[in-house]
Amino acid sequence: MYKHIYVPVDNSEHSNRAIDLAVELGRAFGARLTGSHVYAARLHDYRFKQMEYTLPEEYKDENELERQRKIH
């Protein structure tokens, strides 16, 4: 029935359970599993800003910080 199962995970209890179920299904049907870590970037924005002071000097330039913020 299933040939390939995709499992996005975020380290929550729900996603950990999804991993367990995906492994069970994969074994039962001989399916390949693909996983990826996902998260809501805006939820982490505050934490990333708290860590900016720990960056190497070349990344503390305001232009570079803004560029990095847009990427992440």
Q: How many CB atoms lie within 10 A of CB 22?
A: 20
pTM of the model: 0.55
**Domain coordinates of the chain in residue numbers?**
1-39, 40-72
pLDDT, tens digit, for every residue of 20-71? 999 999 999 999 999 999 877 676 677 777 877 888 887 778 888 788 777 7
Distance CA 52, CA 69 (A): 10
Reported as a single tens digit per residue, the pLDDT across 1-30 is 899 999 999 888 999 999 999 999 999 999
